Chain A
Amino acid sequence: MLKLTVAFLKIFFRNGRAIFFAVFLPSAIFAILALLNLEGIIRFGDAVSYSDYLLVGVIALAVMQTGIYTASYSLIDLKRSQVLKRLAVSPLTRGQFLVAQILSRFCVACLQVLVLLLLGTFVFDVSLRSLWAAPILVFLGSAVFLNFGFLIASIARDYEEAAPYTSIVGLTSMFLGDVFFPVANLPRELARIADFLPLKPLSQSLRFFLLGVPTPDLQQDLAVLILWFFGMFLLSWFIFSRRVYR
């Protein structure tokens, strides 16, 4: 299983496009938006500067995108090129396969976060309060979205079929995820929905631990994340093992 994890990582690092989307693009988005400084346009409250706010938002976004997009597309590749079938005839179990996928994506997510944190602290003067909770939250978040990716890859036959699903999950999360602006600015009903989607609790709790931004209900955020984690794992496990890897 460890070998498979390493193999998935090797594949990721040999794919220039994947590195571009996972590492370079989020950094570029963060840098550009931080330079634009939207502080005057959107209300953020007093506790935090826009680059602080944005840094954590982009971290959450990057974790989400690696999960949904790269996982679903690479899994579709594995499915189409019969690699999954070849693995399924070996004694490797689907549990081992999924865990190897999650571990390798977690490593990628850690790299993304690290690059963003370095950029944020050294170039944009973001001051971090503490880091200890970050790996745990990043793990939870990437696992949730990875399982979204698995689910999409299990249902869709090719990229074209996967695209609408990834967009729905991706765009909804981005819009209601406290990524670029606080959802609190939106109508109350939308803001309420956002509380129960996975991305807002992730970015909100990340802000709490990394920046010390007070959050209305940390326990609820963590509970929502953990529920999504188990719910998505079971669902994608079920669908994946029924439709893809038996």
Chain B
Amino acid sequence: MNVLEIKNLRKAYGKKIAVDGVSFAVEEGEIFGLLGPNGAGKTTTMEILEGLKSADEGKIKIVPKSEMGVVLQTTGFLPELTLRELLELMVSFYPKSRDLKELAEEFDLAPLLSRRYSELSGGQKQRFALAAALAHEPRLLILDEPTVGLDPAVRQKFWETILNLRKQGLTILLTTHYMEEAEIVCDRVAIIDNGKILAIEKPIKLINSLGIVSRIKFMSSKPLKLGELESLPGILSVRRERYTYDLETETPEESLRELLEWEKKFSGKIFNLQVQQATLDDVFLKLTGHNLRE
């Protein structure tokens, strides 16, 4: 069952078309990621779904606002109020409410409940924004670039929490331009660029389907013949840069096994062995012809 379905969504600001015929559906219980660079139309799409903007064209089927929880890019809460006051205020807008004490404990916020929002650190604010978005037991959680500006440890903790929420059956729609995070967290991703959806797929399928190569890199104690490496199964090309050899392959696991077999007969040693898997970043580059962070 779909919690959210949009068809042919369009939105223009004057002459600039921000969202150009976007369609996708989010199924109950999945984490769906909308990926793209700044200005791709992610935020506009999200704001239309959140009810902040109206679309020029298109059909939207989405749960009502009362069943939607939202974490905004910059989390806005009245800074002069304490966390307890804020939670009580926010749930008063909704028909349902969780036990707030329990909620606070779940998010490690219990000792901070009588602190004012303005006194929190970045990570604490983020935890609070998530807790506040969940206080009214939403069916759909919307996260708009939720980890921008947070340090890596906080980010990791945040995604762990998100994965836990999915286990509890929550449906999650998120945008991010951190591809590594999307790859780990999302069940499915939609790649968006210039207001258009280019692909919707499971991250791993997306990476595999496009025939994007992985790289095996290593250094060698003795010079190697490039031809010898090229003849190994699955290797597409070999390059040498000073002492580093750079092999391209579509089947990194197989090629690696073959390479290690070959090394046994090799009189020298290879070291600094690295495998670089194709990532969603590469998918993005392939689909759009430009880098995600450009």
Contacts and interface: CB of A to CB of B under 8 A. Distances in A.
Interface of A: 3-4, 7, 10-11, 14-15, 78, 81-92, 246
Nearest to B51: A89
A86 B93 contact: no
Nearest to B54: A246
16 contacts: A4-B92, A7-B85, A7-B89, A10-B80, A11-B80, A81-B74, A82-B76, A84-B76, A86-B76, A86-B77, A88-B50, A88-B52, A89-B70, A89-B72, A90-B65, A90-B94
Interface string B50-85: 111110000000001110101010111111110001
A83 B64 CA distance: 20
A137 to B, nearest CB: 30
Given A7-B89, A246-B52, A246-B53, A85 B81 contact: no
A78 B79 CA distance: 10
A246 B51 contact: yes
A11 B78 CA distance: 8
Contacts of A4: 89, 92
Interface of B: 50-54, 64-66, 68, 70, 72, 74-81, 85, 88-90, 92-94
Contacts of B54: 246
Contacts of A78: 76, 78
Contacts of B77: 83, 86
A10 B51 contact: no
A85 B72 CA distance: 8
A89 B63 CA distance: 12
A162 B81 CA distance: 25
Find the residue from A81, A83, A85, A89 having the highest chain B CB count within 10 A: A89
B42 to A, nearest CB: 16
SS of B interface (majority): loop
A3 B72 contact: no
B76 A91 contact: no
Contacts of A10: 80-81, 85
Closest 7 pairs between A and B when the two form their complex, measured CB to CB: A82-B76, A83-B76, A86-B76, A89-B70, A3-B92, A11-B80, A90-B93
Given A78-B76, A86-B77, A87-B93, 7 more contacts: A4-B89, A78-B78, A82-B72, A82-B74, A84-B76, A88-B51, A90-B90
Contacts of A82: 72, 74-76
B75 A89 contact: no
Nearest to A13: B80
Contacts of B93: 87, 90-92
Nearest to A245: B52
Nearest to B70: A89
Given A89-B65, A89-B70, A91-B65, A81 B79 contact: yes
A90 to B, nearest CB: 4
Contacts of A89: 50-52, 65, 68, 70, 72
A246 B55 CA distance: 12
Nearest to B67: A91
Contacts of B65: 89-91
A71 to B, nearest CB: 15
B168 to A, nearest CB: 22
Given A82-B74, A86-B72, A15 B80 contact: yes
B223 to A, nearest CB: 59
Contacts of A83: 76-78
A195 to B, nearest CB: 40
